Amino acid sequence: MKSDAPGTTVSRRQFASCAAAAAAGFLLTGCGPRRLHEMPPDRLKDALREMERRYAQQFGAAVTVSDEKALPGVEFAYALDLSRCVGCRRCVYACVEENNQSRDPQVQWIRVFQMDKGKGVDFSEADPYYAPPAVPEEGHFYVPVQCQQCRNAPCTKVCPTGATWTEPDGIVVVDYDWCIGCRYCMAACPYGARHFNWGKPAVPKDKLNTKTHVLGNRPRPQGVVEKCTFCIQRTRNGRYPACVEVCPVGARKFGNLLDPDSEIRYIIEHKRVLVLKEELNTLPKFFYFYAT
Amino acid sequence: MTRPRIGWQAGVLCFLVAAVALAGGARSQSPASGPQAPPAAPTAPAPDDRVEVPPPPFTDGIFPCSSCHASMPVNRTRRELTEFHTDIVLTHDEQHRWCLDCHDADHRDQLHLASGAPVSFAESYVLCGQCHGEKLRDWRAGVHGRRTGQWNGHKTYLLCAHCHNPHQPRFTAIQPMPAPVRPSRPGK
């Protein structure tokens, strides 16, 4: 081969075979694996059945993988009452169990920060590792942080493969099969809400939540990013997220932003509401409020 | 199971409207609305039908109060109880109140409002709301207290007394769940 040498030209045969190979490759990519949200319905169905089969084998239990679509006329939003939260972390562990997060290595989608009442909401002074015998501690308040489901989400913009996007109901999801683990989204997220599976996720067989959603709590492979999905497998069936139902002080509120009678609208209209890092223009759908 | 009404006036109104509709032979208009399991994402029904409140949390064997009190003379003198109910410590504006300010001496199985109007234990939130009006308003809107069930359908509220001990309403501190493990760095 001397095609790189100066003065030589590409032969007609070489050109034709290269062009044919390129055309064939272009055509074949159309038949290859696809992102979940652009898969034709019948292929998606096959893919889901295949996942169910694989997980059943892995965990020895009947697992359902749903692809429940967004409900029309629904945009989810969340509100958390900072004047009520006592920092007990019940939400953290309810989330771990509901969403099949890895126990060891530990992955937790919710992180509760202990803050000083004198300093206000200040993450540079916050402590997520507090462990006193009893909470709340005098002079402190607690700010749980999870995915803020931004309307102007920085994480989805930086993904080089399009493996993460915002659903029509406002939930930012990850396609675990399309994520290449570059963690750009984690760098882009100002809330530390995305978590990477550095090791092989370990969920005890008897602790697996078998009711899963393909974009939510289905078992993840190593090397992908995961995050809070507002319990997509529950909320798209009308249920409250697990963290809302477990909160012992009722600090967590959830509902449809487009429904004028919803709790969430009542809170936004009647309470003092704030969002974290408002100056970054991420437009979170996760609101913090003071009910008193 | 008792199903106390939130916004009972509205509930009574709905009931009357429904009764009139049924009496008018309008029953055949909705043949599909028989008793059946609630669908996954039901369309919004009347607000009152969406709410369920579990029965009040009584200590075992304490209710009905009349099973003991019916045969006892009423002593309205404010005093410290020494024979029975000694486990109840009142830290709820105890300077100004005692048992019979909320419990009714004439209808032992009921409470009463400041006006003297009786109110059942299942509707005790009306009693609490006399002082804590803004909390009652938030509770009705679903903002105060925990809700479970469906965000777009059937919900379960809790009574004030399910979370707050009426005699000692302030929450006590609880043990937190374990802190997250700190990330490990190689060589450290």
Of the CA atoms within 13 Å of residue A91, those in its CB half-sphere come to 30
**Cβ separation of A237 and B147 shorter than 8 Å?**
no
Q: Is B37 on the interface with A (CB under 8 A)?
A: no
**pLDDT at residue A251 above 90?**
yes
Q: Is B149 on the interface with A (CB under 8 A)?
A: yes
Write out the H or E segment, with its range, that includes residue A196.
strand A195-196
CB B146, CB B158: distance < 8 Å: yes
pLDDT in tens, B108-147: 999 999 999 999 999 999 999 999 999 999 999 999 999 8
Q: Which region among A210-214, A252-256, A276-280, B18-22 has the lowest average model confidence (pLDDT)?
A: B18-22
What pLDDT does residue A27 have? 75
Q: Is B144 on the interface with A (CB under 8 A)?
A: yes
What pLDDT does residue A7 have? 61
pLDDT in tens, A253-275: 999 999 999 999 999 999 999 99
* Residue from the list B144, B148, B181 with its beta carbon closest to the beta carbon of A240: B148
CB A55, CB A63: distance < 8 Å: yes
User: Which CB contacts under 8 angstroms, 24+ apart, belong to A263-269?
Assistant: A263/A79, A263/B141, A263/B142, A263/B143, A263/B147, A264/A77, A264/A78, A264/A79, A266/B141, A266/B142, A266/B143, A267/A79, A267/B143, A268/A79
Confidence of residue B60 (pLDDT cuts 50, 70, 90): confident
Mean pLDDT of chain B: 78
**pLDDT at residue B183 above 50?**
yes
Q: Dmax over Cα atoms in chain A, in whole Å? A: 82
* Residue from the list A130, A132, A256 with its beta carbon closest to the beta carbon of B151: A256
**Cβ separation of A131 and B179 shorter than 8 Å?**
yes
What pLDDT does residue B45 have? 45
Q: Alpha-carbon distance A271 to A292, whole Å?
A: 8
Residues of B in contact with A92 (CB under 8 A): 177, 180
**pLDDT at residue A3 above 60?**
no
**pLDDT at residue B57 above 80?**
yes
Q: Alpha-carbon distance A242 to A264, whole Å?
A: 17
What pLDDT does residue A292 have? 79
Q: How far is B188 from chain A (nearest CA, A)?
A: 18
Confidence of residue B31 (pLDDT cuts 50, 70, 90): very low
Q: How far is A25 from chain B (nearest CA, A)?
A: 43
Tokens of B59: 């200590």
Q: How far is B172 from chain A (nearest CA, A)?
A: 9
CB A218, CB A98: distance < 8 Å: no
What pLDDT does residue A253 have? 96
Domains in chain A with CATH codes: 76-290 (3.30.70.20)
What pLDDT does residue A40 have? 87
Q: What is the mean pLDDT of residues B150-155?
A: 90
Q: Is B82 on the interface with A (CB under 8 A)?
A: no
**Cβ separation of B180 and A240 shorter than 8 Å?**
no
* Residue from the list B149, B163, B177 with its beta carbon closest to the beta carbon of A240: B149
- Edge-first strand order for the sheet with A286-290 is A252-256, A76-81, A286-290, A272-274
Q: What is the mean pLDDT of residues B17-29?
A: 41
**Cβ separation of B179 and A262 shorter than 8 Å?**
no
**pLDDT at residue A60 above 80?**
yes
Considering only CA atoms, which of A60, A73, A50, A76 is closest in space to residue A214? A50
What is the distance, to the nearest Å, from the Cα of residue B14 to the centroid of all Cα atoms in its chain? 21
Nearest CA in chain B to A92: B177
pLDDT in tens, A120-163: 999 998 999 999 999 999 999 999 999 999 999 999 999 999 99
CB B145, CB A253: distance < 8 Å: no
Q: Which residues pair with A113 in a beta bridge?
A: A143
Q: Which region among A15-19, A70-74, B18-22, B72-76 has the lowest average model confidence (pLDDT)?
A: B18-22
Q: How far is B123 from chain A (nearest CA, A)?
A: 20
Q: How far is B63 from chain A (nearest CA, A)?
A: 26
Write the CB contacts of B9 (distance below 8 Å, at least 6 apart in sequence).
Answer: none
pTM: 0.81
What pLDDT does residue A87 have? 97
